[in-house]
Amino acid sequence: MSESPKIPSPAALLKEQAIAAMNHSYSPYSKKSVGAAIHLSNGKIFTGCNIENSSFGGTVCAERVAVWKAVSELGGDIQITDVYVATEASPPWSPCGLCRQVINEFVAKECKVVLINKTGEELSFTHQELLPQAFDRSALEI
Out of 19, 34, 111, 116, the only residue in the binding site for ligand THU (CB under 6 A) is 34
Q: Is 95 in the site for ligand THU (CB under 6 A)?
A: yes
Q: Scan residues 111-140 and list those touching ligand THU (CB under 6 A).
A: none
Distance CA 57, CA 53 (A): 7
Distance CA 11, CA 84 (A): 9
**CA 43-45-51 angle, 5° bins:** 160
- At residue 103, what is the residue type? I
Q: Is 50 in the site for ligand THU (CB under 6 A)?
A: yes
Is 129 catalytic? The answer is no
Binding site for ligand THU (CB under 6 A): 27, 30, 32, 34, 50, 52, 59, 61-63, 93, 95-96, 99
